[in-house]
Amino acid sequence: MDKDELKFYLKKSGIDFIEHKHPAVYTVEEASRYEGDLDFMHCKSLFIKGKKSRNFYMVIMLADKRLDLKYLESGLHEKLTFASKEDLARILNIYPGAVGPFSLMNENASKVIVLIEKAIWDGDKVGFHPNDNTETLELSGEDFRKYISSLKNKIVII
């Protein structure tokens, strides 16, 4: 789903957002140059997979935190690895730098297990790329929860 289709879906679903356009960004550091002064929780999404189960997970967390993979492995009871570029394309229909919860709308993504940091789930305002790393969509916490609840994915608040 491209960003225009996504925005249409959000509007049709009564989910409000504010668009912030910027040059393409591929890392949290690059994004902070353009989004640093914006008043929302800066988030990142990581796409990982279980080595044995072959389950895919999207971890949505605060941008300034580092993923503790060992801790996550102990909670999920399996070894994890980062998904490949090919996995991103095949399952989420996106490219590195554009991973985010909006890519869960893609047809192949319904079995991805979504792990959301509690601070983000409870947050007042959040921002994510709309399947394109040249924009960030800002949503209220209520609208983010409404969007996430519209998905078919298993959602776990961590």
- Report how far apart the first and last C-alpha atoms of the chain are (Å, whole number): 27
**Which pLDDT tens digit goes with each residue over 46-105?**
999 999 999 999 999 998 899 999 999 999 999 999 999 999 999 999 988 889 999 999
Cβ neighbours, 10 Å, residue 41? 20
**Which pLDDT tens digit goes with each residue over 118-128?**
999 999 999 99
For residues 22 and 135, the answer to whether their CB atoms sit within 8 Å is yes
* pTM of the shown model: 0.91
For residues 127 and 138, the answer to whether their CB atoms sit within 8 Å is yes
Structural domains in the chain, sorted by start: 3-157 (3.90.960.10)
Using alpha carbons only, what angle is made at residue 158 by residues 57 and 3, rounded to the nearest 5 degrees? 50
